[in-house]
Amino acid sequence: MTTQTASPRPQPSPMGRGFPGMGMPVGKAENFGVSARRLLDRMRPERYALTAVVALGVTSVAFAVAAPKILGHATDIIFAGVLDPRAGIDFGELAEVLAWVMVLFLASSLFAWVQGRLLNNVVQRVVFRLREDVEAKLHRLPLRYFDGQPRGELLSRVTNDIDNVSMTLQQTLSQMLTSLLTVVGVLVMMFTISSLLALIALAVIPLSVIVTGQIGKRAQKLFIAQWRQTGALNAHIEEAFTGHQLVTVFGRQRESETEFRRRNEELFESASGAQFISGLIMPSMMFLSNLSYVVVAVVGGLRITSGAMTLGEVQAFIQYSRQFTMPLTQVASMANLMQSGVASAERVFELLDAEEQEPDPVDAAEIAGRRGRVEFESVSFAYRPEVPLIENLSLVAEPGHTVAIVGPTGAGKTTLVNLIMRFYELDAGRITLDGVDITRLRRDDLRSQTGMVLQDTWLFGGTIRDNIAYGRPDATEEEIVAAAKAAHVDHFVRVMPDGYDTVIDEEATNVSAGEKQLLTIARAFLASPSLLILDEATSSVDTRTESLVQHAMAALRSSRTSFVIAHRLSTIRDADLILVMESGRIVEQGTHTELLERRGAYHRLYAAQFAAPDPT
């Protein structure tokens, strides 16, 4: 990649990417051969187009390579005229030769253009399908897969890595082909003109390989250092800006700035070093190219005087030798780019290879009646086999009842919800909905029955209206507004600049956490499912608003089975059944009054919540 700056061919990289690969550490593919072959495999549907691309490329390069030799004839014709002033220059012949050359150039450009277009289409189609496959795959992966890795890592796989694959394919396929063909073609032409001069020119290859290799190795080291220091500096900036308030209040501005300056200075040293070293490649290659130019001129001159070669031939040869180093450098830099592209492809393939969730049963059961009776029968489950979480748990939620789940963090409350939604598969036991094992249902059918509001609100980039109607895209305006009113967000929405058409997204700063929760509640209201799951659904909403929403929810809950998880015990006082969970087990169950009378775990929680601290 360090030779990128020496890229002689006009290769305007998409703006913003800068020079491809510059400063980017080469991600090495674990299994270059296999992954590269798989990438090629994905191009199989395009094989006819690709054959055409290669054919056009060969023709185009052949024409381009042949032209200078014919152009050399033109020089010879002129030279002959100079040597023999009486006969003069044969303009008829010259015109003919030049006309031929022009035709070759035209054809070469035309073919190159068609080839470029075709190849671009192929690459774009391949990348389109790759993206499509990855996206489809995301929906088939079990949630367990997503838990297994940091979200940033996965996100980078589906975005950066695919972008990188696309860029690599685009740049390497066309350039690799033309460059390699040109090297071969030029070499052939040089040998047909003069094997002696060709050998001299060839001597430049090992020299340039050594020079670029040596410089590249050094630059690589600096680039990696630069990359690392950029990361460190950016991390510091990120921390300082994100924690700006703390830095200020704790009076750490000076230390933070000293630290910044040190890292900034370090980055400067390695970055300017890397820039300098890699910047040496171009002049060095130029020097080598000039060196061979001189040698060719001297030797060629001697050969002309001895009559072994014509001036036109030497002229043509010089042109060829100039064309020789460019594609060579290019092939070298492409190799680096390809490394990183294939490494990216490998990461994408890993994702595509990941084990998928169990497919829905073919003879899936139908949900009849929509009563909403949920039963857990000796259910066991663990996220990680070595840490058992839920063991042998049984419970029944009768239709229309509200079941509240309380207990300390990590007790497995949210897990129960995940299991009902069949986000995870059980290790043992079974869960039934109206008597039917949920694994016998199609996931879509099961989930269509269920409305869920999570603590971590999720809004997608779109209008408020679309977000509320997420679960029921066919809802009417009145229904949407009614849901918003029930969730007490109607007023808030109306003061937004565009009302229900206001565009919001995950990072929306104009919507507070509480308001986001209310919007997701409105979403669940509108979806009007037979099973309602509220997982800390109002934790960020202030208590006054919460109690108002509670009333609305009570109406919603009365006709359907609901599961409510809450920290605030005031939220769940009216539940038909309260389950107290501790480390994956239900330690108590009953109504609020029953449990208080029992003076057990629930009572302790309740007392803790409402008691004033001992003022000693």
Partner 1 sequence: MLIRLLRSYLRPYRRELTAVLVLQLIGTIASLYLPSLNADIIDFGIVTGDTGYIVATGGWMLTVTTLQIVCSAGAVFFGARTAMAFGRDVRGEIFHRVGRFSAREVAQFGPPSLITRTTNDVQQVQLLVVMLCTMFVTAPIMCVAGVIMALREDVGLSWLLLVCVPVLVIAIGLIVVRMVPQFRKMQDRIDQVNRVLREQLSGIRVVRAFVREPAETRRFADANTALTDTALRVGRLQALIFPTVMLVLNGSSVAVLWFGAYRVGAGEMQIGALTAFLNYLMQILMSVMMATFISMMIPRAAVCAERINEVLDTEPSVNPPPEPVRELPARAELEFRGVEFRYPGADEPVLRDISFRAESGRTTAIIGSTGSGKTTLLSLVPRLIDVTGGEVCVDGVDVRELDPDVLRDRIGLVPQRAYLFTGTVASNLRYGNPDATDEDLWQALEIAQARDFVEEMPGGLDAPIAQGGTNVSGGQRQRLSIARALVRRPEIYLFDDAFSALDLATDVALRVALRPHTRKSAVVIVAQRVSTILDADQIIVLDNGSVVGIGNHRELLGSCPTYREIVESQLTPEQVA
Single-letter code of the amino acid located at 184: V
DSSP code at position 387 = B
Q: Does 568 bind partner 1 (CB under 8 A)?
A: yes
- Give the H or E element holding residue 534: strand 531-535
For position 237 contacting partner 1 by CB under 8 A, the verdict is yes
Among 25, 36, 54, 131, binds partner 1 (CB under 8 A): 131
Q: Is 195 in the site for partner 1 (CB under 8 A)?
A: no
Report how far residue 416's alpha carbon sits from residue 403's, in angstroms, rounded to the nearest whole number.
12
User: Of these, 31, 51, 124, 558, which contacts partner 1 (CB under 8 A)?
Assistant: 124
CA–CA dist 394, 368 (Å, integer): 23
In the bound state with partner 1, the residue whose beta carbon lies nearer, of 372 and 471, is 471
Per CB under 8 A, does 600 bind partner 1?
no
Question: Using the rule CB under 8 A, is 87 a contact of partner 1?
Answer: no
Binds partner 1 (CB under 8 A): choice among 55, 95, 354, 428: 95
Quick one: which segment of 259-267, 327-335, 431-439, 481-489 binds partner 1 (CB under 8 A)?
A: 259-267
* Contact window for partner 1 (CB under 8 A) among 229-237, 346-354, 377-385, 386-394: 229-237
Neighbours of 120 (CB within 10 A): 15
User: What angle is formed at CA 510 by the lines to CA 509 and CA 514, rounded to 5 degrees?
Assistant: 90
Query: Does residue 463 bind partner 1 (CB under 8 A)?
Result: no
Please report, for residues 23, 69, 273, 400, 552, the alpha-carbon distance to residue 222 in angstroms, rounded to integers and kept in the order given. 9, 43, 7, 67, 63
Residue of 30, 40, 47, 88 interacting with partner 1 (CB under 8 A): 88
From the number of C-beta atoms within 10 Å of its C-beta (0-12, 13-18, 19+), residue 604 rates as exposed
- Nearer CB in complex with partner 1: 29/406: 406
**Do the Cβ atoms of 504 and 535 come closer than 8 Å?**
no
Encoded amino acid at 277, one letter: I
Residues 327-346 vs partner 1: string with x where CB under 8 A?
--------------------
Contacts of partner 1 in 469-528 (CB under 8 A): 470-471, 473, 505-507, 509, 512, 514-515, 520, 523, 527
Find tokens 């999720």 and name the residue: 458
- Judged by CB under 8 A, which of 49, 66, 158, 187 binds partner 1? 158
CB of 305 to partner 1, least distance (A): 4
Binding of residue 287 to partner 1 (CB under 8 A): yes
Q: Please give the Cα distance from 70 to 66 (Å, whole number).
A: 7
Phi/psi-derived region of residue 21, left when phi > 0, alpha when psi is between -120 and 50, beta in every other case = left
Give the whole-angstrom CA distance, residue 5 versus residue 272: 14
Nearer to partner 1 by Cβ, of 34 and 55: the residue is: 55
Determine, following the binding rule CB under 8 A, whether residue 435 of this chain makes contact with partner 1. no
194 CB-contact burial (10 Å; exposed 0-12 / middle 13-18 / buried 19+): buried
Number of residues forming the site for partner 1 (CB under 8 A): 167
Asked if 408 touches partner 1 (CB under 8 A), the answer is: yes
Smallest gap from Cβ 417 to partner 1, in A, equals 9
If one asks whether residue 94 binds partner 1 (CB under 8 A), the answer comes out as yes
Report the distance separating Cα 321 and Cα 589, nearest Å. 87
Nearer to partner 1, 8 or 499 (CB): 8
Closest to 345 (Cα-Cα) out of 471, 157, 176, 203:
157
- The yes or no reply on residue 267 touching partner 1 (CB under 8 A) is yes
Which CB atom, from 17 or from 217, has the smaller least distance to partner 1?
Answer: 17
CA distance from start to end of the chain: 69
